[in-house]
Structure formats: C-alpha cells, structure tokens
Structure 1
C-alpha cells in the first residue's frame, strides 16, 4: 500500500474555503445581528472577559470568561511568499455573559471577525515587552452559553522569541515551515486562548503546494490523518488532521516540507491497535535518517512499557516528525513529537513519556513546568534501564546530584515557583526535577511512587495539575507528611541532602520459641545497613518497650553510646555509615522480672524518617507460665433467709486480678458429707450478691470465685464455706387477736367448777385465761425453732 492513502475527506463540517465577506477592520454592519438578538436581555449587565489567567510567568497570555471546546483551523500556505491565508473557527462556551472577549494572536493581519455569524468589532493590543498580543472582540450582541467565533487572517507568520532567546511559533525552514509552540508560540499562526488551562479538540486543514523544491511535500499535524485531497488544477494538496482528544494550544503542531513518510500499526498491551505516521525530512543525511528510523522502530516497545506502567496510552495515533528546523530542541507535540534534525532513542523516550505527563496532564501554571519535565526525565531513565540496560535510576540521579557542586548557581533557582520566564527550561526544570523525583522514590518506596503517577494520570487525564495538587496526592498515597521534603527539594535555594536509604533489622540472643524463666536475660541487637549511594548518618530508630517492661527490666546505665531510654521508648541514634560499608549495630539486655509470667516479651522497632525499610522489626519471646499468687478464700456475708441479700467477697488475691462468681445451692441433707458434685449452680447467679428466694428454703449457699490475671495461670475455682440452711418462714398470730370462735360455756352453779368467775356471766375471766394460754404456746414455739436452728449451726 502507499505510505498514506488518499482517503476521501471525512464528513465532518468544514469551513468554506472562500474568503469571508470583508468588513472594514473593526466595523460592524449594524443591520446584521447575532443568533441571540431576539433573546430577552438578562437582568444583570454583560461584562468583558478577562485578558489574563494569572499565570506567574506569562500573565498577559491567556484569557478568561469562556472555555474553548473546539478549534477548526484552515490554512492555505503560499511557499513562494512564505505567507498564509487562514480561517479559524472557535467553538466556545461563555462562563458569564460577555460584552467582549479576547484571543491571543501575534502578528498577521485580521481581515474579519464573526461571532455567531454576525460581524463583530475587534481591536489589537500589542506589547512585546510584556508578551501581550490580544485580539479583543466585541460581538454585536453579548454572548452567553455556547457561541462560535470565526476569524479570517493572513500574512507572513513570524517566529516568537522567548525570554531565554530561543525561537518557537511559526519557524520558516528551507522547504517550508514548522510551528512548535511551547510555551506561547501558537498565537503566531492561529488565534486562540493560549493557556494550558483551556484544552479543546482540533480539526486542522493545511493546503500546500503538492511539490516544493522539486520534491513531494507534506503537511503534518496532531491526531489522525483523516484525508488528503489533491487539486491538480491548483497544484495543491490539502492535508486534513483531526485531534479527538483534549489538547492545549502549546502542544499543537503544523510542519510543512519535503518528507519521507512512514506508516505502520502499533499494537498496545491494552489490546488497541493505533496508526503510526512518521515524517522524516527528506534532505537529512543518511546517518540522521538512520538514527531516526532506529528510534522509530522502538515506538511500540516504549509505548507498551509506559502503558503497562501508567495506564492506557492517551492518544489515538503516534509517530515522530523530524525536520531540519535549526531550533536545537525536541518537543512533545501531542501524539507526534517533534525532533530537530535527528530523533535519538533517549530523546524519543523522553517525549513519549510526555504523552502521559505533560500532554494528557498538563501544568496549571508555567512555573509548574517541573511536573512535565521531571517525570519525562525520571521515568525516561527508568524506561531506559528496564528496556535497554541503562543504569538504575538511583545511579543516574545520584551521579547528577554528586556532580553538581554545592556552590553551583544551578541550585539558586527553585524547581517550583520561580518567577523569571527566562529560567523556564533551565537546570531546575529538568535535572533537579529528575533528582527530586528520585529522592522522592527513595524516600517513600517504589510501590507508592509508581502509584502516585498512575493516579496523577488517571485522575487528571484531559486536564491540568499544579505543584500543590501533586504534593497533596503524594501525601495521600504515601501516608507521610512530606512538607519538609518538598520544601528542601522544590523550593529552597541550596543543594538538598541526598536521602538516607537504609534497612533496619532486629534480632534476639535467646530462642524465640523457648520460654524464659524469671531472672533470665535476653539480649536484643539492632542493625542498620546503608543500602543507598549516599552516606547514612544522623537518622534514628525507636524501640517500643511497652510490651517488654511489664515483664522485664533494662538497666539504663548499661546502655551503649547512641542508645537512650525514656519511659517505655528506647531510641538509637545511628552513627554514620558510608555507602558500601558494613552495617552499624547496637545491643541492649532485658532481664525477666521476679513476678513475670507468660509474657510474652514483644519488642517492636521502627526507623524514623523517610527512606528506611524494616527487615525483621518485631520479636516475641515467651516467658514460663506461673500461677496467680496469692489466691484468696471467698466468704459470704448476710442472713440466709428469704428476702435477704447475701454478698460474696473474693478474699486476698494478687494485685490486678479480676474475678468471676458463681452461686451454688446445696441441700440440707448433703451438708454433713458434702462433695462438689452436690453443688447445684444457680442459673444467672454470677454477681457478687444474691437475693434469697422462697424456693431456696431447705438449702445452704456456696459461692465459687475464679481469678484471672493477664500473663498468669488461673487456679481452679475457690469455694466458700456453706451458709446456714434457709428455713421456712412460720406465721405467728397476734396476741391481741381473740379466738375466732370462742366456746359457749354453760352457766356455773358455784365455785366447784374450778377457776373463779367474776361478773354476772364470767366472760372477762375466761377471756383473760385464753389470752394467757395463747401467748404461752407462741413462746414455746419460738423457743423450739431457735433451739433447732442453734443445733444445726
């Protein structure tokens, strides 16, 4: 098949190729109204859009008041005159009702502006010293919600010179031009909202001479090639590219020239297959072409590694553009990165990493550029090591750190928050950022480090992120307070210390499966091994003795230098250990106390600070089991009578013992030769008190107490002596109650009847006698009951 098929034009709507009707520059035909002319005016007044996004380095580039959804750019390129005749249609959504709004456009002549089809007034504001190039548009009717702006413009695009003296924007080449746009060059060839904060989709049509300088020409851009139409009469070819993913303006690309075109299909681990289009300047030397083609052959391998590590490739196509532009740098233009003269493998890897970090997720402010370049540098070194046998990342970045003297001025520009745009692509954006990320990896661990970048991409794909966002995500995933770390590596103006990287281990001199006896000793040893490339020094490890000192003691005067004891915490200040040197060790001894039992002695140690890992960091050693001593004899207090409350006391036990109670009944007949089997547990009677019930009559009580003390063996339950037997209560008549049915006595004839009788009928004398007899009987009954009880006791 041919390198690129001459496919039919896609069916998406396109701008008309004829020129828009001319209107006088800045003059609106008042008889033509916009689409919103017949909508009732809102209660509040429209306002002008802002002409700044507040970027710290380029405050006058970018605009507010609207959000661009889509750019449709059509460019006619005249190679003989090096000019363009272009139309850009911008679909946007106003976030407030706008009486006017601005776009960024440097140079070129604006011929007409339409807003929602109606001519609009426009003015230009230009101040090169402050990087201000505004196209201010006043629509015939204020806009709100969705609106469309069409700008027709022409002229010879110019390069934009950055504060550091480098060129970007529309750059003329011997056989055409290349437009690369980081940070602000996009405004040299199409009007736009030139800020990383406003992403959109793109359609880009570029009409060029079919041949330039006797060779076939091509026009390449971002996204997918959706059509190529030859106009044989005009001798032109229109190349149509479609970017379906969100893209910021500085990542857009147009390159025109004589190219060798290469096409393939890339298979990704996710199962997708995407097209690859690469364009290599036909006039480059064979050596440069060979280098570029060798790198191109690695695109599938590198994308596969990156996709596996960080998530699905964010684009729908890939490739490279290699042009003899004389810019001296490569650029991560979205999908299809740009290379000047040659695409080396290391640079290719760097730019492919950018497709995730820098393109899919862009910076929020240009002083956050380290969030683009740092990952490209660091992850690029990791990919090189994994795929091509390069040095490991610690070796790469430690070497950079060690090789940059403390006195170097390179350290005087912070990684984040610098304020001079001339420093945008300096040491701090690339080398120090790569060091900082390696220092972060060493400090929090590789697994957490990888997860941070997976989440950064997953959460912010199609959007932007700031340094504050990155710090917050890093602390969330690592669980560490990293304020001091980032202050040192991102903001301070001096050389940061390389992080300590070390392993802490704990060992015990006694076997951990053989119980210790009272009076035995065990020696613990802490070992610190330097596993990093820097010198280990000044770090500490902490031993938690909270589960050792209850059962054992440590003599503070016996501790070696570097060990200190404070309560139940022992701290070890690790001495300096050079990289590659043997480990540092510290030992201390614990002696089992005379009242210890079971234990176990559990010693846990932990390194303090970042960059440390634990090998063996907890040891548990048992102690022989001893019984609780002393053991008390329970007693019962109270009267064992129905309705009375009995109270159990456990007796004298070892301090700290807790108790469980169980009340039992024992029948009166079993008291003389009572055995434990004669005891009957009373359901639910497990407290310290028991209230005697009527069904307890005829029984005595016993209480059993079980003592528990952590670390000690509990003895068998201890039983109290039985109480007295509960007696049945007996009713005692009141002495004042008369007999219920006194007998009817016959009349007496005289004193021969016995007792003397007074009164006319003798009734008072008989009543007194009855009362006396009743009282006497009651007294005898009470005396008999007491005697029986005393005999039982």
Structure 2
C-alpha cells in the first residue's frame, strides 16, 4: 500500500509594526490556506492472460461530466486531471488532490498501451459508459483493468485437393515481399486439421506485405496464389498479404500437389537394452530419427519372428534360452518412405 504524507497548512498573520516615528501599522490578517487532501488509487494493468503489463499509461478524468455532443462525438472526455504509468508489477500508484470542501473525488480511469486496445474502467469503450472510482482522504482505492491485444490473425488451411485430406505437419512460412524469398520471417506447423494460425501482435511481426509458402514432405512446395492458378508457383508470382495494419483477420487456403515420398533425414539402426537372461525384459531403442515417425516393433528369435512380440519391450522366456534375439523397427510418416531398421543380435540368452 502506498503511504503519502499529507501536509496541512494553516496560518494567520497579524502583526504590529512600530515605525521610528512611533506610529503603529497593523497588517491585514491573511486567510488560512486550505489543507491539501489527497486520495490514493492503485490501478493494476493486466494482459489478456492475466499477466502484469508495465509501461501502460493510466489517465484520470473527473467523473459525472456531461458530453456536449454524444451523437457525433461518443469518444469525448473532459480535461485530464491526473495520471501515471504502470510499473514492472503492472501497478500504477496514483495520488490526486481532492478539491477544497470535498472528502471524496469521483474519477474515471482510462488505460492505454501501444499494441493494445484502450480500455476504460470497468470494461467500457468510452468515458460516458465508464464506471466511477471513489478517491477519498486516508483510503486506498484499488481497481484492475485488463487490456486486449491488437492482433493480426492469419489462418492458413492446407489440403490435398485430390484426396480432400487435411494436411497436418505442413510448414507454413511468411516471407516479407522485400526479402530474399528463401528465408521466412515466421513459420508455423499445421495441426491435424490442416490449419496453421499466426497470432501477430504489434511486436511479433513488422508491418509489411508478406507472401506465404506451404512445405510438406511428399508434396511439392506451394506458394499461396489467389485465385489459384492465376500466377506462377514462385515467390515473385505469389499473392501478397497486406499486414501493414495492427488488426485484421486473414483466411488463406493452399492446395498442395502430391509428389514422391522422400527418405528420412536420419533413420538409425535400433539398439537393445537389457540382459540376455531368461525372465529379463529387453527394450528396443529406435534412436534419433529425423523427422520422428510412428514406430512399429517386431522381435525375432534367431531368424524367426516371435509370435505376438510386437511391443517396444519383450520379456525373455524358456524358448529363448540358447538363442539370440533381435528387433526390427519400422518408421512411417506421411510423405516419407516407410523404412525398416534391424538391430544387432543379443548375446545368447542364458537360463
């Protein structure tokens, strides 16, 4: 709680000045100066997720003022009477002098920060609809104001027009029109529904025009061209998306053409962890594949597949004694060549 000293000043001056001639002059009494009374207010500023926002401007206006022209000027507000800035904890500590003869000052609060929509307390769009806050001598008033971020939202949907399948695991990149057309400014990956969303605040992406490319294994790279087929599938032929403003919603659809599956960048031989002894459990370790596929496992006793042994682990039994065990790992992922790797065999299993 902020504690501020309040100074009360009172003085009445009455003196008699005796001059050299013996005459007396009486000075007129000076009226007492009124006591300075301050009301205290803490305004907590938060972002959409409830986190504190520093550097927000908090402005106070006297409440209950009349808008002279509410129809054509709904954003009218009276003259500013005070204000401050929120600190690292998101709190602005304000002290406001209360006029002579009053014990309570009614104010309305406006909070503003670059990249966010301005907000009156409490959740109002303008002064007229804002709530009053009472500031009184000797009491601390506390209010909270949550700001909504200004966003440019780009929703990119990627699909296969032949199979009509949603294409998840697709890399979608934003390329500045004045860039090299090779290095994306930002990328996102589509979800299982084939959607990649960019939520772009003022600080997240420079205002500019951008072009969009979708890249996925097993498909040809595709630049966004609107309408489809109206230009070449190149950076220079791609449609430019206007992201120069602070807000907006931009739906983008990209149809991709299937190509040949590509090999995994890395598909190492698996290894087996555990002791080769009856009753012990062996575990398959696939290694670091790139990208990570869906794995399937198959255990072998010598050169023969073991019935039902298709889990990542296998517990050695009587039939394994005197034999050597291995495991095959199959990796599969859309757009990639399905690949199988076989481990080295264990030592002979002991009883």
Please give the TM-score of this superposition, normalised by the length of structure 1: 0.16
| Larger relative contact order (CA 8 Å, sep ≥ 6) | 2
Higher helix share: 1
Larger radius of gyration: 1
Please give the TM-score of this superposition, normalised by the length of structure 2: 0.34
